[in-house]
Amino acid sequence: MQSAEKIQKQYEDLKNLLISIEVDLLKNLQKGNKAAGTRARKILREVKKEATAIIKAMIELEKQE
């Protein structure tokens, strides 16, 4: 069972992930830092996972209403 508060928390976590990727992304793009590119891709995979979880939670919440 999902609640609106839990979904909101998941959304805040997703926003924090997107903010955290900026440093590594810029290091990779501007300085060619390959390790930073690897970290950025890892975070992007986590963003996809979190977004999918939010979508599923929203659908479940809508079904309950």
Global pTM value: 0.82
How many residues are listed for the chain in this entry?
65
What's the farthest any 2 CA atoms get from each other in the chain? 50
Alpha helices by DSSP H, the chain: 4-31, 34-64
Burial class (CB in 10 A: 0-12, 13-18, 19+), 45: exposed
Q: Cβ neighbours of residue 55 under 8 Å, at least 6 residues apart? A: none
What are the pLDDT digits (tens) for 2-54?
689 999 999 999 999 999 999 999 999 999 999 999 999 999 999 999 999 99
